[in-house]
Structure 1
Amino acid sequence: MFFEKRVSRRFFLKSLGLFALGGAFFKDLIKRVYSEELIFKLGLCNPRPALYYERIGNKMVHCLLCPRGCVVGNGEKGFCRARKNMNGEYYTLVYSNPCAVHIDPIEKKPLYHFLPGTTAFSIATAGCNFTCKNCQNWDISQASPEQTENTELSPEGVVELALKYKSPTIAYTYTEPSVFYEYMLETAKLAHKKGLLNIYHSNGYLNPEPLKELIPYLDGANVDLKGFSEDFYRDITGGSLKPVLETLKTLKKKNVWLEITNLVIPTKNDDEKMIKNMCEWIREELGRDVPVHFSRFYPMYKLQNLAPTSVETLKKAADIARKTGLNYVYIGNVRGVKEENTYCPKCKKILIERVGYYIKQINIKKGMCSFCKNSIPGRWE
């Protein structure tokens, strides 16, 4: 039996995470969004045939969506908890059933070179194909859809709401979008037909074929490059590094706007040599102009024994990246540092001044620095 609740105005407002942002723009946004009420039900699932799997006999299936390659027996779920073998056929359990529906500043994704100052209509479902010990959304990423409060929101409904609230972009985010691949793909197709853009914030753990099918509908991506060793990935994420690197190279090659986030975790991936190796790989394989965000870790989930990342450590990481030759280096989850801003690599003047998610000024016109006319890579309009 489903437990039904109607989301209160205050609850939905709080979930937007906009209280601390300030500014008339976000106050107006809050008023507009809060007129919408959503109904969530505990365990709401509407199974739908999944893509990317093969039948292997005895009512077993082999999932081909991500590098994990789950072999799933009849009546069982895959590692991600969002897909289930039902009598020898594989089903997604999360199609049109998000557990999170928010409107965020695009800077929260984070994407700093993609329509700055605009909003992204953001959705997520339960499940993930990683088991990150530091996950800040573990209550939904490490849960099955039967354990979360979900709403009914079709791809058409997502697009309709994005248009209603004047968000130019739909974001697939919070958990791992790959596990709600079918939902994301159909929504992204409809979004393009209606003139909307699509972005995702992903761990990059997706096989080449499904990534190839998704890319024509993907305009921007922020991929978590969580560390730069297989040992780190195995210990902290339960995944592996190599497929993530391949995803990054593919996205860049196919001209999807790409930014990278590296959450710097004390004693786990803050080794300066590891950071340098990662930055050199980015420079050589992806180019100097790919923005890199070094994000501050806060004690979460299974790593509550660790202290938050020091600002000094983050600044060292940013300095290493700049010395390596990367042009756009940021520090996230910390306010009041210069690395919140975008600077012109040529004249060194501020192009975009930020305070948290709030934009104070933009000095980019037609993709160029307003001061020296240097071309600035990004999606600006």
Structure 2
Amino acid sequence: MTAITTEFFPTQYWHRLEDGRIQCDVCPRYCQLHEGQQGLCFVRGCHDGAIKLTSYGRSSGFCIDPIEKKPLNHFLPGTAVLSFGTAGCNLACKFCQNWDMSKSREMDTLADSAAPAKLARVAHELGCRSIAYTYNDPVIFMEYAIDVALACREYGIKSVAVTAGYVCEEPRREFFRHMDAANVDLKAFSEDFYWKICGGHLQPVLDTLIYLKRETDVWFEITTLLIPGENDSDAELEALTQWVVENLGPDVPIHFTAFHPDWKMTQHSPTPPSTLSRARRIAVKNGIHHAYTGNVHDEKGGSTYCHSCGQKLIGRDWYTLSTWNLTADGCCTACGTACAGVFEAKHGTWGARRRPVRLRQYAA
């Protein structure tokens, strides 16, 4: 593992163009930069003739969350996860709900710092079963995330990526080689939405989902934030959920979450709970075994049911677990059908708590 010795951390995925500019090859934006320029993500830029990372070892904040908040409902339910992110993002979503961090152009946003070894040790001391790279997209600070993941192995702590999946083939392979779980934000199921509202493209995200399913052992779930009038039509939800079943299978959970007006879409209405319930019904009709509603109080839509006999396997009231009808090996106690996911004999007891953490308070 490389120690933090400079403000500019060396990176691997870039190449020099004939006109002297340097092209970043981490994501499909392919930013082509002159010396001193930063990419759209803000944290990768051209310095001394190479693409370097400026946020290595610095975070916009650390917080212990329930794993269900990522959201991951089938990965070590009830356990605590230490979450952190940096500044910047490689998409430009007009509805971004973490815009104060993901759209930040001020390094002062990176208010706390920690070397990977210290971060792993503190997570262990705090009783966290996993670390989540979240708030903004970890693919843009992949070198830091990977080093943290490597440090966490010593303590048996898992690594969770909360990502939009907007990443190129080679860095995708390297990044997810170190991840244990992921939640991938499938923002919509139309190229028009991705281009006009996110400043990106749909196909690279679909490629990431297919890669995760077919070529890795990473447990992953999908989240789609439903925005009234933009990506919540029956036709789009039909197409999205059918694609998931046909290409990823019925066992990949999908979370339909509620939009609230933010960033550059403050004139849109919040998502009514009925829209989330409708999306969930469409997903189940099309064969998805586990479809959830999120950002609303909906115990039924947040709980896990056996797709074979219908028994409630995991009851959830917001982020608090109630019912637990899984065997030690993750099967329904009523009919014996396996529930896809990563489970242990007993669920965690972290509950709905959210605990901010300042790494500077812990010894180096």
TM-score (norm 2): 0.90
Identity, % of aligned positions: 40
Partner Cα distance (2:110, 2:83) in 1: 16
In structure 2, list runs of 5 or more residues that go unmatched.
1-5, 345-364
1:317 — aligned with what? 279
| Stretch of structure 1 that moved more, 185-194 or 61-70 | 185-194
Q: Any conservation in 2 of the 1:233–1:240 contact (CA below 8 Å)?
A: yes
1:160 — aligned with what? 121
Partner Cα distance (1:213, 1:149) in 2: 25
Partner Cα distance (1:113, 1:274) in 2: 25
Aligned AA for 2:132? A
Alignment of 1:39-188 (within 5 A): 46-56=7-17, 59-188=20-149
Alignment of 1:175-254 (within 5 A): 175-253=136-214, 254=216
Of 289, 303, 311, the residue aligned with 2:251 is: 289
Aligned AA for 2:339? I
Partner Cα distance (2:54, 2:324) in 1: 42
Q: Any conservation in 2 of the 1:94–1:145 contact (CA below 8 Å)?
A: no
* Cα shift at 1:379: 0.5
Of 333, 336, 341, the residue aligned with 1:378 is: 341
Partner Cα distance (1:199, 1:149) in 2: 20
| Stretch of structure 1 that moved more, 61-70 or 51-60 | 51-60
Q: Any conservation in 2 of the 1:199–1:219 contact (CA below 8 Å)?
A: yes
* Cα shift at 1:58: 5.7
| Stretch of structure 1 that moved more, 208-217 or 270-279 | 208-217
Partner Cα distance (1:155, 1:238) in 2: 32
**Which structure would you say has the larger RCO, counting Cα contacts within 8 Å and 6 or more residues apart?**
2
Show structure 1 runs of 4+ deviating over 6 A: none
* Cα shift at 1:280: 0.4
| Stretch of structure 1 that moved more, 146-155 or 76-85 | 146-155
* Cα shift at 1:273: 0.3
Secondary structure at the residue paired with 2:58?
Answer: coil
Q: Any conservation in 2 of the 1:290–1:328 contact (CA below 8 Å)?
A: yes
Q: Classify 1:149/1:189 alpha carbon distance in 2 versus 1 (closer, same or farther; 3 Å).
A: closer
Q: Any conservation in 2 of the 1:59–1:87 contact (CA below 8 Å)?
A: no
2:304 — aligned with what? 342
Partner Cα distance (2:20, 2:124) in 1: 43
Secondary structure at the residue paired with 2:245?
Answer: helix
Deviation per residue, 1:45-83 (Å, 9 max, x gap): 922112211122565211010111110111100110011
Partner Cα distance (1:215, 1:138) in 2: 25
Tell me if 1:262 matches 2:237: no
| Stretch of structure 1 that moved more, 54-63 or 160-169 | 54-63
In structure 1, list runs of 5 or more residues that go unmatched.
1-44
Partner Cα distance (2:245, 2:19) in 1: 48
Tell me if 1:369 matches 2:332: yes
* Cα shift at 1:143: 1.2
* Cα shift at 1:146: 2.0
Deviation per residue, 1:147-201 (Å, 9 max, x gap): 4142221111210111010101011011111111110011112212331111111
Aligned AA for 1:126? A
